Structure formats: structure tokens, C-alpha cells
Structure 1
Amino acid sequence: MARFIRDILATLSYEPAKAPADREELSRLDQRLAHFADKGAGTGGTISIQPDECSVWDGNPRDQPGLTADSCRSLIESIASEGGNRIPVLVRLNPPGSDRPYQLLVGSRRRFAVGWLNHNGRPDLRLTALVVDLSDEEAFRLADIENRERADISELDRARSYQHAVDRFYGGVQSRMAEALNLSNSQLSRLIALAQLPQEVIDAFATRDELRVRYSELLTPLLRQAGQRGRMIAEAQLIGEQQQALARQGDRLIPPATVLARLREAAMPPSQEEARDIAIMAGGARIGRAKPSRGGGLTVDLSIAEDADLDELLARLRETIVAVRATPLL
């Protein structure tokens, strides 16, 4: 078994599968696992366990709460029709004293699907598994091979797992990790840069699935300048609040291209007139801006959430108007 798994690590390609996300075609790793299970049928090559008998290893980048019956529908139907998962999951023994005997390394979707079926009319189904003896670093590489072949793992989830793994498994040396994963140093650097985006910028996008490495390549250089960074984070906070308000109202959310354009625009140095704008704050968040006009009037832009405290908002607005009136024109 150990030789079989290490042969997979040594020979499998890291190029992601080209099949559409909605098709359950076998990936290269799946093909190898299915072939091994078929070849070893009846010889003790695989075991049958209950899904709850294994905990999920924390080194796998897949977002476990993100697995739902809808996202796994075709897999659930396939396993139900075949009477089990033909492609085995990979588990290893948990340390003595653990509350579950096994630790799941590869096969989160299959585990979820069998567990869902157990609770929805098919309590007889068991999870077919291969027990392997792998180090954490080997387990990470194997999970990475499988996850690169899946379209339902976000680039952000993968980037965050890489950021965590470079310290956990490779002593903080990116070049060592890049070599082990068959990536170029630049590819790995771009992925880790995505994971290092400020949380305010991440929250500005409607979903984290919308974040792409190419966005990070555009935003990261701008975020390195202190002045630009402050303006971009302020704009990101405003966009995030607007996204939340739109979601509560059931309206269409701000698309990623618009979010990206607004963040890049915020990085541009303000004009002399824009520099005199005063932010309007309420509840610790920016809700708009005010600026004096040369005609003696006042321009106010507001973005008011549905559940905003109107008394506090009006009080902050009054304070801002007084401050703007006291600002001398240039």
C-alpha cells in the first residue's frame, strides 16, 4: 500500500482536469484509486467504515461547511445507484485516545455523500476506504493533487491552504514547497499573495468564489503603499456594507469587475478638491462623505443600511456638516 501511494505521488500530473464542473468524470487520481480498489476486491485491499468514524484532517483545503446536498447532488445520485463509492477515500489511523478511529485525508465529497444518504433513506451504505500510512507533508501533496482536479474549491481556499502549508510542512521556504508541488516559484507566490489580501478586500466581493489570483496580481502592488492601502481598505469596507445591504434586500450584488474597478480607483491619489472630503462615520463604519462646494453649498453622499440607527446617523451628519462648513476653501 505504501509503495502504491508513493508511486502516485511520484508520477501523477499536477495539471487540473479539463472536464466541466458538473460532470463526474474520473480524474487521474480517481482512476488510480478505483483501479487499485477493483484489483484488490475481495483481498482486503479496502475496508468499509461509517462516515462518522473518521475525522477530517485539518491540512485539507476543502471547505467542509461548504459541502451541501445541492453541490454534491450528482455524486450522491451516483453513489446511491452503485450501492456505494466505487472510488475509495483515503484515511489513516488516528492517534490512540482519539474519539474517532480514522482521519480522512482524501475524499471529503464522497464521505459527505455517503453520510447524507445514511440519513436520507440508505442507512445500509458504508464508506469504502483505503487505510494508508503517510506523513503530513505526503498527505498534503496527495490532497493537493485531488483538489486541483476539482472545480468546486475556490482559489482563495487553495491559496490559504498553501500559505498555511509553507510554514507547517516546508519550514517557511517557498522554493521547497514549489518544487514539491511541481509549481513555479512565481505561481506559488501569486497564490500566497491572494491569501494575504486584507480581510476587508475579501469581504468586498459578494462571495469568496469570485476572488481570483489575477485580481490579487492587480491589487497587491497597490496595497503595498501606505496611503493607497488606507484608501482601498476604506473603499472595501464601504463596498462590503453595500453588499450586505443589497443581500438583505434581495437585490443583485455588486459584480466582481465593479468591485475591482472601485478598489483600483480608490488607490489613485485624490485631487485637491477630493482631499477636502470628510468621511461621515456612524457605528464605527463609514457611511458616506461630505464636501463643501464653491457656491457656498454642501454636497453629501450617503449609503444607509436598512437597519441603520437613524438617530445616530443624523447626529453624525450634523457634526460632519458643521466640520465641513468650518473647512476653508482653497
Structure 2
Amino acid sequence: MARFIRDILATLSHEPAGRGPPDQQALSRLDQRLAPFADKGPGSRGTISIQPDECSVWDGNPRDQPGLTADGCRSLIDSIASEGGNRIPVLVRLNPPGSDRPYQLLVGSRRRFAVDWLNHNGRPEMRLAALVVDLSDEEAFRLADIENRERADISELDRARSYQHAVERFYGGVQSRMAEALTLSNSQLSRLLALAQLPEEVVNAFATPDELRVRYSEILTPLLRRPDQRARMIAEAQSIGEQQQALARDGGRMLSPATVLARLRDAATPQPLEEARDMAIVAGGARIGRPRPGRSGGLTIDLSISEDADLDELLARLRETIVAARAAPVMQ
């Protein structure tokens, strides 16, 4: 079994997606390789039958365990219920002596959750089909990464944070070693690690962490390197986060990722006062107004708003103009 799993580690990351018979192409590549072990149910080819609560979840897996819900796993729950068990076995290893549970789950968090949910909702006889493997922590991390790269419910932020933890834990802080082990380029890994290192205030500015993308960190990270820009961006991020919380409480539509990104980027490079006064306000690709000096030294803004205007974008553009004017030095 150990040789089979290590063969997967050596070859699977180079295989094209969708390989295998048509009835298996909806499975991940790792699942396709594990499927034959469950063809005849628990007990075949080394598969054992265990209760979900007999295994703890290994802390090196990037999946957000508390984030698993019955609604999110509904199709899997229904499939396991109709088939009388999980068709694809989970992978576990023995816990050290003295542990409160005999097994440690390495791969198959959603399947474990689904069977556990069924046990507590009318199917107490259901058991979890599992393969016991003997892998090091680094091998277990690579195997979990192979599975999770193809899962839509693993956010880019979750994956990035697991990589940040793993580079120190398994690869001595050497990014090139980790990139080689995971068959990633050094630039791919660097971009993921940059996402994991975004300040928490910036993360909280987005409606949900799932909205954060590697391409956003490529825009924001260079701006965050300068102390003066970083301070303004974090202040803006805190303001956006408070606005998002208020919108959530009131049942309003949360600010879009594009709006958040634009506000953070613009906060890093505020317009001088005179430029802000001369700057056209553009929303939805059309000019909707222009600020001009007010009688008391502030700004007067004239707007022309269509009936189908996006109010979130409109308010974001207005706010950017006002913030830019306030942040600019007073012109003599």
C-alpha cells in the first residue's frame, strides 16, 4: 500500500485532468486512482470500515473543517446514502500510542463529514470506508494538496495559508524545495504566499475570504510595501470592513471585490487637491459628474445619474473623490 501511494505522489501531479473511463471523469484524479479499492465495498483490497469519530483530522490539511456544512455537502451525502457507503475510501494513518482516537484522517474530509452527518440523521449503521497508509507529514501534505487543488470548495486563501504554514513546517523555509515537491514554479508559489501574507484588515474588507484571489494580491502587495501607502490602505480597509458589516446587518448587497480592490488601490495613491477637483467621476464606463471647488473651500459635486446606475459603484466613486480631497495637502 505504501508503494502504491508513493507511486501516486510521484506520478499523479503530471497526469492530465479527466483521465480514465467516462464514468470516472467527474472524480478528481486522486479519486480515480483510489476508486478500484472500493469497487467491492469495505473490506476489499485492504479497505477497512471505521466510525467517523474514530479518526481525528490531521492539522496539515488546508481544508477549513468548520466550514463544512450539510448544505455544502448535500450531493455527496445523498450519494453516500444511496450507495450505502462512501464509494471512494478516505486515507488514514495510525495515530501515535496514547492518542484518544486510533486513526488520523489525511484525505477525505468531506466524506468523513458526510458519513458522520448520516450517522446523526437516521443512518447510525453507516461506516466510513478507509485505507490505512504509512506516510510522513510531508508526504501527507503533498497528497492532500493533490486532492484539494481540484476542489472548488477550497478557497485560494485557504490554500495559500496552508502553503505558508507548510513551507516552514516541511521544507525548512526554502520555497524552491517546496515548489519542486509540489511541481509548482517558484513564481506560482511566491504569488500564493503573497496572498497568505495580506494584512487581516485587507482580508476582512472583502465580503468573504473566498472572494480573495491571487491576482488581487499581485496588485495590492507592491503597494503595501511602502509604510505611508500601507497605513492609508489599512485605514481604508478598516473603513470598508465596517461598511461591509453594516451592509450585512441591514441585509444590503455587499461591496463587490472589484469595488473593494479599487478603493484599496486608490487609497495608496491619493490625488492632490487640485487634481481631485478636476477629476471626472466615472461609473459604469460613463462620466456621471465632476467635482469643483466649493465656496467654503470644500468640494461641490454635480451629478447626472441614470435610472439603472449601480448605486454601490456610484457611492464608491463619490467616496474615493471625497477621500482623495481630504487626504491631499492644502494648496497655498
- Same fold, TM-score > 0.5, yes or no: yes
2:114 alignment partner in structure 1: 113
Q: What are the ranges of 5 or more consecutive residues in structure 1 without an aligned counterpart?
A: 276-292, 300-323
Match of 2:13 in 1: 13
AA matched with 1:202: V
Give the equivalent residue in structure 1 for 2:314. Answer: none
Structure-2 separation of matches of 1:213 and 1:247 = 25
- 1:153 partner SS: coil
Residue 13 of structure 2 aligns to a residue whose secondary structure is coil
**CA offset at residue 202 of structure 1?**
0.3
Matched, 1:136 2:137: yes
Q: Deviations over 1:18-45 (max 9, x none)?
A: 79xxx99211100111113337965551
In structure 1, the partner of 2:241 is: 240
Mapped contact 2:61–2:162 kept (Cα < 8 A): yes
1:143/1:212 CA distance change after superposition, 3 Å:
same
For residue 10 of structure 2, what is the amino acid of its counterpart? A
**What is aligned with 1:167?**
168
- Evaluate the alpha carbon distance shift between residue 159 and residue 86 of structure 1 in structure 2; reply closer, same or farther with a 3 A threshold: same
| 3-state DSSP of counterpart to 2:91 | strand
Aligned to 1:71: 72
Partner of 1:27: 28
Partner AA of 1:80 in structure 2: A
2:257 corresponds to: 256
In the aligned structure 2, how far is the partner of 1:43 from the partner of 1:328?
78
Cα deviation, residue 273, structure 1: 6.8
Q: Which amino acid aligns with 1:195?
A: A
Q: 1:24 to 1:150 in 2, by over 3 A?
A: farther
CA distance in 1, matches of 2:181, 2:4: 18
Query: Residue 3 of structure 1 aligns with which residue?
Result: 3
- The alpha carbon displacement at 1:270 in A equals 4.2
Cα distance in 2, alignment partners of residues 212 and 239 from structure 1: 18
Q: Any gaps of 5 or more consecutive residues in structure 2?
A: 277-292, 300-325
Hey, what does 1:58 align to over in structure 2? Answer: 59
Seen in structure 2, the aligned counterparts of structure 1 residues 328 and 269 have a Cα distance that, compared at 3 Å, is: closer
- Provide Cα deviations, 1:64-109, integer angstroms capped at 9, x if missing partner: 0110001101000000000000100000011111111100000000
Q: One-letter code of the match for 2:174? A: V
- Answer whether contact 2:18 2:29 (CA < 8 A) is retained: no
Deviation for aligned residue 1:296: 3.8
- Report the equivalent of 2:216: 215
Query: Please, what TM-score do these two structures have when normalized by structure 1?
Result: 0.81
Q: Work out whether residues 37 and 47 of structure 2, in 8 Å CA contact, stay in contact via their aligned partners in 1.
A: no
1:329–1:10 Cα change, 3 Å: closer
Q: Secondary structure at the match of 1:13?
A: helix
For the 8 Å contact 2:41–2:87, the answer to whether it is kept is no
Q: CA offsets per residue over residues 168-187 of structure 1, 9 Å max, x none?
A: 00000000000000000000
- Structure 2: distance between partners of 1:244 and 1:219: 22
Distance in 2 (CA, whole Å) between partners of 1:24 and 1:121 is: 31
Determine the C-alpha separation between the residues in 2 that align with 1:6 and 1:182.
15
Instruction: Read off the aligned partner of 1:235 and give its amino acid letter.
Output: E
* Letter paired with 1:261: A
The TM-score, its normalising length taken from structure 2, stands at 0.80
**Residue in 2 aligned with 1:97?**
98
Q: How many aligned residue pairs are there? A: 285
The runs of 4+ residues in structure 1 deviating greater than 6 Å are none
Establish whether residue 186 from structure 1 lines up as the match of residue 181 from structure 2. no
Contact 2:42–2:129 (Cα < 8 Å) also in 1: no
* Local SS of the residue matching 1:98: coil
Q: Which amino acid aligns with 2:97?
A: P
Quick one: distance in 2 between partners of 1:87 and 1:48? 12
Quote the residue 2:38 is aligned against: 37
Amino acid of the structure 2 residue aligned with 1:46: T
CA contact (8 A) 1:16 1:150 kept: no
Distance 2:234 2:83 in 1: 51
Aligned equivalents of 1:47 and 1:41: distance in 2? Answer: 6
The residue matched to 2:129 in structure 1 has which SS?
strand
Question: What CA distance in whole angstroms lies between the structure 1 residues aligned with 2:188 and 2:331?
Answer: 50
2:197 matched residue in structure 1: 196
Distance 1:204 1:82 in 2: 43
How far does residue 15 in structure 1 lie from its aligned partner after superposition? 7.4
